[in-house]
Structure 1
Amino acid sequence: MAAEAHSTATLRLTVGDLRIVHPISVPSGPVAAADVVPALQGLVNAVVAAAEAGLMKSGGTISCRKGCGACCRQLVPVSRTEGERLLALIAAMPPERRETLHARFAAAGAIITGAALAERGGRSDRELSLAYFALGIPCPFLEDESCSIHTERPLVCREYLVTSPAELCAGRAQEGVTPVAVPKVSMSARGLQDDREDWFPLALLMDWARTRPKGGARRTGPEWIQRFLKGIGRK
Structure 2
Amino acid sequence: MTTQFADHNGIYLYGMTDPEDLRRYIQQKYAEAEIQYAYEHLLEGAKALAKQEKIPPIQALWKILDRAYEEKAPPLTCQKGCAHCCHTGVMITELEWEEMVNAARRKGIDLNDIIERAGKSMHKVEKTLESGVDPDKVDWYTMVINQPCPFLEEDQSCAVHENRPLDCRTMVAFREVCDSKKLEHAQRGAVIEEAVAPTVIARLQYEQTPKFKRRKFTGSQKLRLIQHWLLVWRQKQKKKEKVIADCASPNRSPHHAPRRHTDFTQDHRTAGPSRRESRGGRSGGRGRTCGRLRHRPGSLLRRLSCAPAARLRT
- Deviations along 1:187-231, one digit per CA (max 9) or x if unpaired, are 1213533434222112322223347xx9xxxxxxxxxxxxxxxxx
Instruction: Find out whether 1:190 has 2:202 as its counterpart.
Output: yes
Q: For 2:50, what is the secondary structure of its paired residue?
A: strand
What does 1:157-168 align with in structure 2 at a 5 Å threshold?
157-163=168-174, 165-168=176-179
Q: For 1:25, what is the secondary structure of its paired residue?
A: helix
The 2-side partners of 1:170 and 1:102 are apart by 23
- 2:225 corresponds, among 179, 182, 201, to 201
Q: Which residue of 2 aligns with 1:70?
A: 84
Please provide the CA RMSD for this pair: 4.0
Q: Which residue of 1 aligns with 2:148?
A: 138
- 1:112 corresponds, among 125, 133, 138, to 125
The answer as to whether partners of 1:75 and 1:201 remain within 8 angstroms in 2 is yes
- Deviations along 1:146-174, one digit per CA (max 9) or x if unpaired, are 11221111123111102465445413xx6
Q: Which residue of 2 aligns with 1:152?
A: 163
- Give the CA deviation at 1:66: 1.5
- 2:99 corresponds, among 80, 85, 88, to 85
- Give the CA deviation at 1:178: 4.5
Q: 1:190 to 1:75 in 2, by over 3 A?
A: farther
- 1:35 corresponds, among 42, 53, 56, to 56
- Equivalent position amino acid for 2:90 in 1: V
- Deviations along 1:122-143, one digit per CA (max 9) or x if unpaired, are 36xxx653x1453x22112111
Q: For 1:137, what is the secondary structure of its paired residue?
A: coil
Q: 1:119 to 1:105 in 2, by over 3 A?
A: farther
Q: What percent of counterpart residues are identical? A: 17
The normalised TM-score by structure 2 is 0.46
The 2-side partners of 1:45 and 1:147 are apart by 16
Higher relative contact order (CA 8 A, sep 6+): 1
The 2-side partners of 1:190 and 1:119 are apart by 22
The normalised TM-score by structure 1 is 0.59
Q: 1:164 to 1:139 in 2, by over 3 A?
A: same
Compare the two structures and name the one with the higher strand fraction: 1
Query: Tell me, which stretches of 5 or more residues in structure 2 are unaligned?
Result: 1-32, 207-216, 237-298, 300-314
- Give the CA deviation at 1:83: 1.4
Q: Which residue of 2 aligns with 1:122?
A: 137
- Give the CA deviation at 1:69: 0.5
- Give the CA deviation at 1:106: 5.1
- Equivalent position amino acid for 1:43 in 2: I
Q: Which residue of 2 aligns with 1:181?
A: 189
Q: 1:208 to 1:51 in 2, by over 3 A?
A: farther
- Equivalent position amino acid for 1:72 in 2: C
The 2-side partners of 1:187 and 1:199 are apart by 11
The 1-side partners of 2:76 and 2:106 are apart by 34
The 1-side partners of 2:162 and 2:228 are apart by 20
- Give the CA deviation at 1:91: 3.4
Q: 1:25 to 1:35 in 2, by over 3 A?
A: same
- Give the CA deviation at 1:104: 2.8
Aligned length: 181
The answer as to whether partners of 2:76 and 2:173 remain within 8 angstroms in 1 is yes
Q: Which residue of 2 aligns with 1:6?
A: none
Q: 1:65 to 1:15 in 2, by over 3 A?
A: farther
Query: Quick check: which has more Rg, 1 or 2?
Result: 2
